[in-house]
Amino acid sequence: MRPRGLRAALAAIVLLVTAACGSGEASQPARSPVPSGWRLTFHDEFGGTELDTGRWVTCYDWNRDGCTNSGNDEEQWYLPGQVSVGQGVLTLSAERRTTRGSDGMTYPWRSGMVSTGRDHWDATPRHTFTYGYFEAAIRIPPQAGMFPAFWMMPASRFTPPELDIMEFLGNTRQVFMYVHWRDADAEHRARGSYGPVDFPADHHVFGLLWTPDELSWYVDGVRRFRVTEPERIPHVPMEVLINLAVGVPRSPPTSVDSAEMKVDWVRVWQP
C-alpha cells in the first residue's frame, strides 16, 4: 500500500494539537534533546563526493527507474541524477523539465529524494528504526510551490502510522509537524507548527524524539510540539526519508524553474 495521499488525509478525521508556540506554553530551554546514555547509531555528514548507497536509496521502492508519490498528486518524478553530494552537503535538486516516468505518466518536474528504505520492492531496507532521536540540519528552498519534507514511514510500507518531522506546505516561514495513526474507525492526525521564521535563509535543525511513551518535535534544539497519548505513538520499524516534492498544495509559479534543498547532516541516536 502506498503512503496515504494528502487529499485522503484531509478527508479523514483530523485532530489538531496546537504546538507550544501557538498555545502560549513556554518553550523549554535549548539543550540537547538526546536522552542521557543514548548512542549514535546512524549518521551521515555527507563528507564525500557521492551519495553513500549503503545508507541511502534515491526512490520509493514501489517504482523502478525513478518514482513519485502519486497519492499526493505531486508534480515531480524522482531521479537519482537529482541527488548530489559535495562540499559536505547533500543537495536535492528540483528542475522544471518534462519527464516520463516508468509508470507511464508524464510529469512537469523532476526532483531528488533519499530514503533508508529499499532500492526495489523485494529488497531489504537499508536501515530501519524503532524509537530514537532523529535530526537533520536542512536548508529549504525559498521558491514557492515546493514541498520539502523530512519524515518516517513504516518498513512494512503500510501507513499510517507516519511521523512527519518537518514539512513545509504552501509557505517557507512556518514548519508543520505531524503524527498520523489509525484506529478501528478512521485515520487521524495531530499537527504542530512553529513560525514565522525565515527558514530558507540558513540551515535549521529539525528533530524528533520517539520513545514508547512520547513524541516530541524540536526546531534548533527547542521543543515545539509533543504527543503522549498512547494510541498516537507508533511501535513499528520505520524508514527515514528526505525529499523535495513539487506542487503540493499548489503548483510553482511560471517564474520558478528550479529549486534546491540542502542537507548538512542526518543523525540518529538510540538507547
What is the predicted pLDDT for the residue at 24? 34
What is the reported pTM?
0.89
Q: What's the N-to-C CA distance of the chain in angstroms?
A: 31
Predicted confidence (pLDDT) per residue in 27-82, tens digit: 444 568 999 999 999 999 999 999 999 999 999 988 777 899 988 899 999 999 99
20: nearest Cα among 177, 172, 192, 179: 192
Does residue 30 fall inside a structural domain?
Answer: no
Q: Does residue 142 have a cis bond before it (omega within 30 degrees)?
A: no
Does residue 147 fall inside a structural domain?
Answer: yes
Does residue 233 fall inside a structural domain?
Answer: yes
Does residue 70 fall inside a structural domain?
Answer: yes
Q: Which residues of the chain have pLDDT under 70?
A: 1-31
Does residue 239 fall inside a structural domain?
Answer: yes
**Distance (Å, whole) CA 245 – CA 111:** 7
Total domains in the chain come to 1
Does residue 193 fall inside a structural domain?
Answer: no
Does residue 58 fall inside a structural domain?
Answer: yes
The residue segments making up the domain with residue 106 are 6-21+35-182+198-270
Which segments within the chain are labelled E, that is strand?
39-44, 76-78, 83-86, 89-100, 106-111, 113-115, 132-139, 146-154, 162-167, 175-182, 187-194, 204-211, 214-219, 222-227, 238-246, 258-270
Does residue 190 fall inside a structural domain?
Answer: no
**Distance (Å, whole) CA 91 – CA 194:** 24
Amino acid at 16: L
Instruction: Count the residues in the chain.
Output: 271
Question: What percentage of the chain exceeds 70 in pLDDT?
Answer: 89
Q: What is the CATH number of the domain that holds 262?
A: 2.60.120.200
